[in-house]
Structure 1
Amino acid sequence: ETSAATVDIGLDTRKNKATKTNEGRELWERPDGTLKEHGLEITCRMKAKYQRGRQSVYQYLRMTSIVNPHADITFVDPDGEVHHWPRVTERLPRKVESIKPHPHGIHLGTLQRMCTESTDSRMTSFLYKNFSGVSSRAAKQLLEAAGVLEKAKPKSMKPDQIRALLEAFQGERLLNDKAVKLLNPPTNCLSPIEELLIKKGLSKTIDSRFVTTMTRSPTVSQGNPYQVEVGLIFGDGMAADKPVEVLRFANRVPLMYQQGGCLLTKAIESVDWRQYGMDQAGGRGVPKGPAAILVHLASTNVQFTSEAKEALAENGEVMDEVRKAMLEMGRGLRKHLEKKKKMVKVQEKFELVNDIIPAIAEKSAAILQRPVPDLAGSITRIMGAVIAESTTTWNKETKMVDIAIKLFNYTSRARAYTLLASWPESAGASMENNTTGGRKEATGVWAWKLETLDPGETYTITYALNGLEKGDWTETDVFYRGSQEVIGASKMDEKLLEEIRRQEAREQGEEEESGEEESSIEDAKENDAPPEIADDQPKPSGQQTLMGFGSDA
């Protein structure tokens, strides 16, 4: 018979590692008496009061399901009611890499402990092996700025030397009147939800009319990598005269208390949402409307206001990043509302013209006893607009997303445009069956040039997106370049496009520089290998985690 392993697990908060006790084995039976062959069950007993509302177990699990769309969650409340949040994607979160602490984010006590526990024979070896962003060159420069010998042993470092080294880390001690340049820490230690999955997570818990999301590029604050993600959803059945629902998360964990004192809430309140089509008294505070705003911060070292980890503490760099994400998301919302409003007006005009003009033509022709004239030119002149329509549908047979963009010229002149469309390239999607050609403008932006679109003509672009799941991509944003406004599309923001290109160039440059530095570090390691560590000696510590500094164990 197959038995299951049982163990009691605790948490050593100082070392940030699990502790195991009472290990054993037992038979694991299903309710029908049969034995389970595989699986995992976690049981936790606690004494607590069950409450309902915004700070309830139900709300916590609901929020957890939004930022973990790969999870299937079933909750049975004390009244026996079953709540189910189904899995909406088969993609698991990407595996993250552990990183070493960065000198810019280290504290004096941590540095002292690292020196005391180190088995390295030289300070240069200690620095480039236990810190990220420190090459052999930077290690020597840091020691020179701190006035510490390269051959000094970490264990022999005196308190004033450690403090001097910390000051060199922070740029307070200069070398040739300049702070020692260090590489940013790697960002592959972060676990963002990603835009497509935020949309799916929000849509599965709230009936939506419109969803927009934004994932900012990873950046660094005080030596700690972090990444900001935001989402906004207009939902059916939500009160239009009450403040929007604010969904705050840190490393996929819901933050349910102290909303008013949280940095994420303050970033939302700092935006004037009135200019984006939402109600907000005095342009301050949480806006009102049938909507929910999601903010997620992924970081190796989340700064909370207290040990309870209920709200994020003030941080100017993070605040600016969240605010930028909110502003960009707000601009997307405004464009959507404006485009929708114009499309409704054009549709009403088009239907009216198509109903009235043919009827007038038929009656006039009957009275004059003449044939009904061709009305295409007349309708075109009356409409006086260029209209874009796009459809995004899931193809069950090909398992791809089929996209069609149509451009109608209802004006009396020939037009020339460049049409652009967004696509989830960063999510791993590839463009297929793009018979119209075109070219890539930036990551996630494709362009097609239309030399001439004569009056009354229609131009159609079709392509498919491969590598996505059903529901990943449900709407395509269309942009244009040209003199005549295109209803149903947004004029391309060239500044935003240029910013995307600059970001790509920066990331590519950082990767190349990082590769060169890593090569330098590897060469240095070979030339200055540390002595072997006995099994009974403590191993060098240095992993940066959510809890702060921990051991490699």
Structure 2
Amino acid sequence: MSIAEKMAANQKQVAISEFFEKNKHFLGFDTLNRALITAVKEAVDNALDACEEARILPDIVVKITKLDNKKDILQLEVEDNGPGIPRASIEKVFGQLLFGSRFHAIRQSRGQQGIGITGVVMYSQLTTGDPTHVESKIAKEATAVSVDIGLDTRKNKAIKSNQDRVDWGEKVHGLKIKTTMKAKYQRGRQSVWQYLRMTSIVNPHADILFIDPDGEKHHWQRVTERLPGRVEAIKPHPNGIELGQLQRLCGESSESRMTTFLRRTFSGVSGRAAKELCEVAELEEKLKPKSLSAQQIRSLLEAFQGERTLKGKPVKLLNPPTSCLSPIEELLIKKGLSKTIDSKFVATMTRAPSVSQGNPFQVEVGLIFGDGMAADKPVEILRFANRVPLMYQQGGCLLTKAIESVDWRQYGLDQAGGRGVPKGPAAILVHLASTNVQFTSEAKEALSDNETVMEEARKAMLEMGRGLRKHLEKQKKMGKTKEKFELINDIIPAIAEKSASLLELPVPDLAASITKIMSAVIAETTTIWNKETKQTDVHIILYNYTSRARSYTMLVNWPERQGATMVGNVLGGRKEAMGVWAWKLETLQPGSQTIITYSLDGLEKGDWNETDVFYRGSQEVIGATKMDEKLLEEIRRQEEALNAPPPNENSELEGEENSEEEPENEIPQTDSAASTSDTKQTTLFGGDY
């Protein structure tokens, strides 16, 4: 036997499970602490995904028990109230790598590859030799399945043992996992506690109970009964297709015409675009996709990518639908942040959906500022991808780089040289929702570089920074004014009383004098949840401490886009734009005050804690911000664009296509402009921008 034949004889196929058994660090099991966090993450992520897909409010219990302190052996138990897993599927879900329901679906989800929970079973078996115990109950069965699952890494198949049925009492459905592993529990910023805390922030609809090894309970209660919106799988977009994928799609297609194939296989391809793609790729519309040669497929790909043009321009494609995304939304980010961090100021923003390489994505940010956080240390960075916390590799993550790219000094935070992570009593949350999150490794700990995502995140950071600066400036002015007012009210009456006593005269009325000295118009705003009416009450008191009568138009932002309604508005006023209400105050006499009061119905407790007040008028109003008319006009233009009916790009082709062998106008086509009307970017005024 020759050397070449001997070498060939030694070559063997490696099972995917066998590969990860030797390279467990790829899955996040490289250190004892990270191994525990990874195991908790995989179990909790699966529980949240299952509950949301079944439209069940998640109740999750995580318990960690120390079995052997010297050998770092821990037992992890995770229980949820999800739909459960049928008996026949348990061994595949827990005992077969790359088995899952989400890999081929183009939609936002926490997990995708079908590796995670099987990796936990594998790591447990590798470090302790013990199988993972699984109990599952589905609604239609009276008892729960109980089984121990191991993994045959040579064959990538489950090893089942001790299969039985157990009574779960009154619990209708759910899943319980119990596994032992070599791992280490520690406290701090990179810990199970921190992971669950961060998970509760971006999943405010979940109730999470954590019992640590010392028996101490940590409970993050749900703060909303509203489940995240349903996500729908979409078709691939031409901008994100590779040559090999296109070859496969053409080869597998049973369509008899290219135009039909393009419209039925891809999102964003209208009837017009399908014809134009065929034209620029020099393909006959009646060609069968299966019959295309390699060169013809390459020509079609070049048309997709804009390398082939029509009259000097690429074929115009619609953006993919954004029904595949489920952003957290601004009010829920506020509630999630506020329930875990005490604050004086919270600002959030959900950017409009964008597209990168044919993949829809959306960036959300939140900034919380206030007491309880160290002013001389870096701000806390909370990174998330598809509602999953990113715990490691902060410095190498795209989201961190977006934060570092902003000069936070101009927004009230310390930052050496205007670069790097800023310092101050603040926390910054960044969330990327996408159908295809690009991680730096299989462990899913950081996002890889992407210019489009980076720019979206940076724009959101700048908007948050501007909001923080306005808040700090307003607070500073209000503080100085209150200090001056208190000083005047202490000193002037005392002087007047002493002088009157010496001169044996009555104490004069000082209201006019105090007003003249103050020379300011002040707005004081309170936004309070009313337990009795289940509404949010807003009170704005406008004081005129000047010697002249004043006239103003006062404006406020309110969460109209989120479904709130304004009630009890005694002064009336008018709507100026989406989420912006205004009142015209004709005359505010010197030394007098005007009260604006209303309530917001349709919200939950904690949804709306702060109201931004704006004004039009010549005299500055301390406690309010002068209205930016250009921005308000832009809000109105965007609102008009949203309310306008979407153009029907297929109308011009209907007559022509009806005469064809296969009428393509019967194929439903989603216009992404219409489908995103409920997920537009929200400005500081609460409207679309």
* Same-fold call, TM cutoff 0.5: yes
Deviation of 1:381 (Å):
0.2
% identical equivalent positions = 70
Report the counterpart of residue 183 of structure 2 in structure 1: 49
SS of residue matched to 2:536: strand
What is the identity, as a one-letter code, of the residue corresponding to 1:369?
A: E
Query: Deviation of residue 363 (structure 1)?
Result: 2.9
1:91 CA drift (Å): 1.2
| Matches of 1:23 and 1:153, distance apart in 2 | 48
CA contact (8 A) 1:135 1:521 kept: no
1:216-227 superposed matches below 5 A = 216-227=351-362
2:129 alignment counterpart: none
Which among 523, 530, 533 is matched to residue 395 of structure 1? 530
Moved more, 202-211 or 483-492: 202-211
Aligned with 1:253 (options 371, 385, 388)? 388
Which blocks of at least 5 consecutive residues in structure 2 are unaligned? 1-83, 94-98, 106-111, 119-133, 146-165, 665-689
Match of 1:177 among 287, 298, 312: 312
Range with greater deviation from structure 2 (391-400 or 231-240): 231-240
The equivalent position to 2:439 in structure 1, one of 281, 301, 304, is 304
* Residue aligning to 1:190: 325
Shift in alpha-carbon separation, 1:106–1:528, aligned structure 2, 3 A? farther
What is the one-letter code of the residue matched to 1:144? E
**Is 1:410 paired with 2:499?**
no
SS in 1 for 2:174: coil
Contact 1:479 1:490 in 2 (8 A): yes
Of the three residues 465, 470, 474, the one matched with 2:600 is 465
- How far off its partner does 1:378 sit? 0.8
**Equivalent of 1:40 in 174, 186, 192:** 174
Task: Name the structure 2 match of 1:497.
Answer: 632
Structure 2-normalised TM-score? 0.71
- The SS at the match of 1:203 is helix
Task: For 2:436 and 2:662, locate their aligned partners in 1 and report how far apart those are by CA, in whole Å.
Answer: 30
- Partners of 2:301 and 2:496 in 1: how far apart? 86
Residue 59 of structure 1 and its aligned partner are, at CA, apart by 1.8
- C-alpha contact 1:419 1:449 (8 A) present in aligned 2: yes
> Quick check: 1:102 aligned with 2:255?
no
User: 1:4 deviation in Å?
Assistant: 9.4
Kindly report the root-mean-square deviation, in angstroms, between the aligned alpha carbons of the 2 structures: 3.0
Looking at structure 1, the residues matched to 221 and 661 of structure 2 have their Cα atoms a distance apart, in angstroms, of 53
**In the alignment, does 2:563 pair up with 1:447?**
no
What secondary structure sits across from 1:208 in the alignment?
coil
* Aligned match for 1:15, one of 75, 100, 104: 104
Tell me if structure 2 keeps the 8 A contact 1:407–1:459: yes
Mean Cα deviation higher: 284-293 or 359-368: 359-368
SS in 2 for 1:260: coil
- Greater mean alpha carbon deviation, residues 124-133 or residues 38-47: 38-47
Say whether the 8 Å CA contact 1:226–1:299 is kept in structure 2. yes
Paired AA for residue 372 in structure 1: V
Residue 71 of structure 1 corresponds to: 206
- Tell me the SS of whatever aligns to 1:426: coil
Q: Distance in 2 between matches of 1:223 and 1:85?
A: 37
CA contact (8 A) 1:146 1:161 kept: yes
Map Cα deviations across residues 335-394 of structure 1 (whole Å, 9 max, x no partner). Answer: 111111111111111112122222222333333333332221111101000000111111
Distance in 2 separating the partners of 1:292 and 1:528: 60
**Higher mean Cα deviation, 301-310 or 221-230?**
301-310
SS in 2 for 1:427: coil
Q: Partner of 1:324 in structure 2?
A: 459
Shift of 1:81: 2.3
CA distance in 1, matches of 2:658, 2:363: 35
Question: What is the CA deviation profile of residues 477-514 of structure 1, one whole-angstrom value per residue up to 9, with x for unaligned ones?
Answer: 111122211101112223433343344344445x613x
Contact map agreement 2:103 2:113 (CA 8 A) in 1: no
Which among 521, 525, 535 is matched to residue 386 of structure 1?
521
Amino acid at match of 1:289: G
1:103–1:223 contact (8 Å) kept in structure 2: yes
**Residue type of the partner of 2:263?**
Y
CA positional deviation for 1:328: 0.7
Instruction: Considering Cα pairs closer than 8 Å and 6+ residues apart, tell me whether 1 or 2 has the greater RCO.
Output: 1
Q: Which residue of 2 aligns with 1:27?
A: 143
Partner deviation per Cα, 1:98-127 (whole Å, 9 max, x = no partner) = 221211122222222221222211111111
Q: Is the 8 A contact 1:136 1:520 kept in 2?
A: no
In structure 2, the partner of 1:124 is 259
Partner of 2:428: 293
Contact 1:125 1:525 in 2 (8 A): no
Q: Distance in 2 between matches of 1:22 and 1:202?
A: 34
Inter-partner Cα distance in structure 1 for 2:650 and 2:135? 43
Question: What is residue 295 of structure 2 aligned with on the other side?
Answer: 160
**Per the alignment, do residues 37 and 311 of structure 1 end up closer, same or farther by CA in structure 2, a change over 3 Å counting?**
closer
2:618 aligns to what SS in structure 1?
Answer: coil
1:85 alignment partner, one of 193, 216, 220: 220
CA contact (8 A) 1:4 1:26 kept: no
Report which stretch shifted further, 386-395 or 34-43.
Answer: 34-43
Find the partner of 1:273 among 408, 430, 435.
408
CA distance, structure 2, for counterparts of residue 340 and residue 463 of structure 1 = 23
Q: Distance in 2 between matches of 1:23 and 1:277?
A: 52
- Deviation, 1:520, is 7.7
d(CA) in 1 for partners of 2:364 and 2:387? Answer: 11
- Give the superposition deviation at 1:529: 5.0
State the Cα deviation string for residues 410-454 of structure 1 (Å, max 9, x = none). Answer: 011122222111111111111112222222222221122222222
Matches of 1:169 and 1:33, distance apart in 2: 57
How far the C-alpha of 1:220 sits from its partner, in A, is 2.2
Measured in 1, the distance between the counterparts of 2:521 and 2:568 equals 26
* Structure 2 Cα separation of the partners of residues 508 and 218 of structure 1: 18
- Structure 1 residue 326: deviation in Å? 0.5
- After TM superposition, give the deviation of residue 48 of structure 1 in Å: 4.6
Question: Which letter does structure 1 place at the counterpart of 2:389?
Answer: P
Q: Which amino acid aligns with 1:152?
A: L
Q: Residue 246 of structure 1: SS of its match in structure 2?
A: strand
Q: Quick one: which of 615, 618, 632 aligns to 1:480?
A: 615
Structure 1 stretch 337-346 or stretch 35-44: which is displaced more? Answer: 35-44
Shift of 1:528: 5.9
Give the deviation of 1:82 after TM superposition: 1.8
C-alpha contact 1:4 1:28 (8 A) present in aligned 2: no
Gaps of 5+ in 1: 532-553
Corresponding position of 1:228: 363
| Offset of residue 296 of structure 1 | 0.5
1:530 to 1:72, Cα distance in 2 relative to 1, 3 A: farther
* 8 Å CA contact retained: 2:519, 2:545: yes
Out of 414, 425, 429, the position equivalent to 2:560 is 425
1:68-121 Cα deviation digits (max 9, x unpaired)? 001000112233222211111111111122221211122222222221222211
- Aligned equivalent of 1:205, options 340, 343, 349: 340
Number of residues paired by the alignment? Answer: 526
Q: Given the two structures, how large is their TM-score scaled by the length of structure 1?
A: 0.88
